[in-house]
Amino acid sequence: MRETSIEKEIVKALSSTREKLNYKQIAAKINVFDKNGRKEVQDTLTKLIHAKIVIKAGRGKYKINGKFLNKETTGRDYIIGRLEVKYSGSAFVIQDGGKEDIFIAERNLSNALHNDIVKVLLFPPRKDKKPEGEIVEVVERSQKQLVGTIQISRGVAYFIADSAVYRKDIIIPGRALNKSKNGDKVVVKIIDWTQGSRNPIGEVVQVLGKPGDNNVEMQSILVEYDFPLHFSNEVEKEAQNIEPQISKIEIQKRKDFRHITTFTIDPEDAKDFDDALSYEKLSNGLHRVGIHIADVSHYVKPGTLIDKEAYERGTSVYLVDRTIPMLPEALSNNLCSLRPHEDKLCFSAVFDLDDDAKVVKEWFGHTIINSDQRLNYTEAQNMIDTGEGALAEVILQLNTLARILRKKRFDNNAINFETEEVRFKLDENAKPVDVFLKVSTEANFLIEEFMLLANKKVAEKIGKRRLHNSEPKTFVYRVHDQPLDEKLQTFKNFVKKLGYDFKVGSPKTLAASFNNMFNKAKGSQEYDMLNKLSVRTMARAVYSTDNIGHYGLAFPYYTHFTSPIRRYPDLIVHRLLDAYLKQKPSVDKETYENYCKHCSQMEQKATDAERTSIKYKQAEFLSDKVGQILDATISGISKWGVFAELVDSKCEGMIPIRKFNDDFYYIDEENYTLVGLHKGHNYRFGDPIRVKIVDVNIEKRQISFELAGD
């Protein structure tokens, strides 16, 4: 619509305030006080509402549509970012490019939800305060579906989301209940949330069952993090129709490794074997090691239904009791899985190494293999320990090379983090009967080093500037930035008080400081604490077309090439490597950067889903142990309370801050400590304590402790 002068005045008046105004207030703001003038304001508001420039915001109130807010009309700055809601109700909008987060108070969330892409009006900056603003528009909804419980009271049905970051109850009209009943765990989608309305309107799209049932709860976690519960019939049918036979023509195109000693090493319960190793000792004394990766790109073509589904998922998801694959089982567990004694198509990285594990020659290309044996990590480790077994000689030689590669990596200032992985022993009903930590052995390190070598060399192949190609082509890298300065300084000051000489100069100096600290602390009570705090100082590894290197691994070039069955970025890398080996032109950088952002987001969601399933099982494991007093370690300090991790089971719970009632306590953030002001009782990260289990809420995955005496 063509704006008149009064329309411009009204838009300007509404744009300049955060308040919702009635027509008289709007008229006063533009200096209109007579009856006819107010009538013109009312009529103009009707036109602006019809044009969706102004929206109704409650009874008789109006506000500007966020889409039409800009610096020109308001004189204020706006940003676009992703909303991250905290359990407390406050929230932050995360901007691209590492810019500072914008604080959003709960009252200023409007109708935005966790992870939505939003437009934010920035408030005038205040000294020594975080940037703050209010959400004026939801640019893009992130969560298509929510999971939670139906509650029906006095004939009105409400949906209560499982996750505390969704704080608004959703009203479900009777016609939209879809046979769900009071107390049912359901999947809901929001169908309407008018600007200014207090609650959204939703409809039930699936009834999962009753809360507390293991299958219901695991499905709930998947929906909570936006992963589908199954593949569509169309995707499954497309997978079933892929030709399983390998033609003679296809074999002729490939390097044949079927006569070379080849094997896989995977966890005992693995079903998708996406990598294999081959070994042969050459006549010139070199060691030829083949890292053979399932050639998913041969079967999954761009634009197919399977490819679109795999991209949307981004990754396989590993919950405590199940795997939700990125690809249908016809591919992940059959066609692409490198099962023993079957011809399989691979994309391989083959290296000739000398006795010092230096790569003398490299080759990348399509192959066909036939694995001689499928080993699990325990079997491989037994060969390393005893030197016995059909493949013992080969395993021992590869392990010797892997040890050298690992030492070189740490000598080059890779950081030696040792993170703990919690595992559960489940009974036939998937109920946890024991909790233990996954222990990495030399067999794990053997596979790890050769996968790292392949990933590094593929990235170098494309990323390094070469004489025949001065500009590297667009590629997908796995990047890891240096730690954030603010977190690092706090950490440095803390560990110096513990007696560790910690320097933060160059990246190499910093990495050396971490490793020296870990070596010195090994075997001490504070070792685990230092590992956990160190990880928290780190940036998160992500996918990007902008290569900044991988800080933690100390690799200038790094990518993900070795797991295309379970990670979509690896499939992209296979396609790009194949194209560039054939001298095809570079792909569009912006398009692939968007792919990278999506894959990074899905990876984080999968990680969060896995952690949530672990929390659920931890709560379930402790549900019959309320009242027990156990040894624990302080694992976190927050304004809500002190987190503690049980020593034996690694289950984490919280001691609410109200339970610390013997003194006035404050948080000393620089020393990761809860400090008693008067009596000198301090509780520091990593301190051993005794706790009593006082409450376990399985559905909310929450465990409550209180301090117990000696």
Q: How confident is the model at residue 69 (pLDDT cuts 50, 70, 90)?
A: low
Region 96-117: what's the mean pLDDT?
82
3-state secondary structure 112-139: CCCCCEEEEEECCCCCCCCCEEEEEEEE
Amino acid symbol at 8 = K
pLDDT in tens, 504-520: 878 888 888 888 888 88
How far is Cα 469 from Cα 450, in angstroms, rounded to an integer?
Answer: 28
Q: pLDDT confidence of 29, banded at 50, 70, 90?
A: confident
Residue 578, classified by CB atoms within 10 Å of its CB into exposed (0-12), middle (13-18) or buried (19+), is: middle
Q: Hey, what domains does the chain have and what are their CATH numbers?
A: 5-68 (1.10.10.10), 77-140 (2.40.50.140), 146-211 (2.40.50.700), 234-455 (no CATH), 623-707 (2.40.50.140)
Residues 244 and 249: their CA atoms lie apart, in Å, by 14
H or E segment to which residue 421 belongs: none
Average pLDDT over residues 86-96: 79
Residue 224, classed as helix, strand or coil, is helix
Tokens (6 digits) for 471: 């500009």
Mean residue pLDDT across the chain? 89
Nearest CA to 78 out of 122, 27, 133 is that of 122
Task: Report pLDDT digits (tens) over 377-393.
Answer: 999 999 999 999 999 99
Q: Please give the share of the chain, as a percent, with pLDDT higher than 70.
A: 95
Supply angle C-alpha 74, 79, 82, rounded to 5: 145
Distance CA 701, CA 695 (A): 11
Per-residue confidence (pLDDT) for residue 2, from 0 to 100 = 46
Confidence of residue 483 (pLDDT cuts 50, 70, 90): confident
For the chain, percent of residues with pLDDT exceeding 90: 54
Minimum mean pLDDT range among 24-38, 88-102, 533-547, 569-583: 88-102
Among the listed ranges 48-62, 225-239, 589-603, which one has the minimum average pLDDT value?
48-62
Strand partners, 206: 187
* Residue matched to tokens 């995977």: 266
State yes or no: pLDDT of 73 exceeds 60.
no
For residue 467, what pLDDT is reported? 44
Range with top average pLDDT, 124-138, 340-354, 459-473: 340-354
Q: What does the pLDDT average to over 160-166?
A: 83
Q: What is the pLDDT of residue 1?
A: 43
Pairing of strands 261-266, 373-376: parallel
User: Stretch 620-640: mean pLDDT, rounded?
Assistant: 91
pLDDT at 67 over 80: no
User: What percent helix, strand, coil does the chain show, rounded to 5?
Assistant: 35, 30, 40
Measure the CA dihedral 481/482/487/492, to 10°.
160
Whether the pLDDT of residue 706 is over 60: the answer is yes
- Give the per-residue pLDDT at 319: 95
Q: Measured between alpha carbons, how far is residue 33 from residues 27, 64, 163 in Å? A: 7, 21, 49
